[in-house]
Structure 1
Amino acid sequence: MPKFMFIYHGGGMPETPEEGEKVMAAWGAWMQGLGDALVDGGNPAGMSKTVTASGIDDDGGSNPVSGYTLVNAADMDAACALAKGCPILDGGKGTVEVAEAMEM
């Protein structure tokens, strides 16, 4: 079965411990709901640097990626259906980019 990457953009850090607990509960429930499709729950992404052929670009640590998850799905449509329930979409503050992880 093909694997798909969910690449998260945007979102934000909870402002209070209570909000953090609510956000973590939403992510946990969503990931549990993915069932056997979940391959790797992933992690949030921190500050970044870009490595190019001419060196390392230290752009101040801005990173367009805020995290990732890896899932199994029959096809792109099925993967997008799984992504629609992602908590990062709540409130319109983030997006999920869905891309097939190509076998090599």
Structure 2
Amino acid sequence: MSKFMYLYKGPARPMDQFTPEQSAEQMAVWRAWMEKLGPAMVDFGTPFAARTAVADDGLAADASDLNGYSIVEAENLDGAKALTDGHPYLSEASGKFTLEIFELADM
């Protein structure tokens, strides 16, 4: 089994802009997906908050619209992709949000 990182990318609304009710609703949807994965969910991860970027010339750069991460375990890249079925981040079906998947290499 290998570990894979999901990186969430898109114009997501920051968590601090949700009402307590909206936050609870969102967390319930995420928990349901996470429970569906069972032991394949290695690290639920966290949303990203404040951000900045620095370019290789030392100057400030525009930070990307990455919004958080999770780590799952699967046999291969196709298996990690299959685990995204029903993922809450992909539920809008607008084409504005992507979930990038990277296999974590052994060092």
**1 CA distance for matches of 2:27 and 2:97?**
16
CA contact (8 A) 1:38 1:70 kept: yes
Deviation of the 1:25 alpha carbon: 0.2
Once the two structures are TM-superposed, the CA of residue 94 in structure 1 deviates from its matched residue by 2.4
Aligned residue for 2:65, secondary structure, equals coil
For residue 40 of structure 1, report the CA deviation from its aligned partner. Answer: 0.6
Aligned counterpart, 2:37: 34
- Say whether 1:51 aligns with 2:54: yes
Which stretches of structure 1, 4 residues or more, deviate above 6 A after TM superposition? Answer: none
Contact 1:6 1:96 in 2 (8 A): yes
Structure 2 equivalent of residue 72 of structure 1 = 73
Normalised by the length of structure 1, the TM-score is 0.83
Structure 2 length normalisation: TM-score?
Answer: 0.81
Change (3 A) 1:18 1:48: same
Matches within 5 A, 1:1-104: 1-10=1-10, 11-13=12-14, 15-57=18-60, 59=62, 62-92=63-93, 94-104=97-107
What is the aligned-residue identity percentage?
A: 40
Q: Across the two proteins, how many residue pairs are aligned to each other?
A: 102
Q: CA deviation at 1:102?
A: 1.1
Q: Which amino acid aligns with 1:63?
A: S
Indicate how the Cα distance of structure 1 residues 96 and 43 shifts in structure 2: closer, same or farther if over 3 A, else same: same
RMSD: 1.9
SS of the residue 1:55 aligns to: coil
Maintained 8 Å contact 1:2/1:75:
yes
Q: Identify unmatched segments of 5+ residues in structure 2.
A: none
For structure 1, the residue ranges without an aligned partner over 5 or more in a row are: none
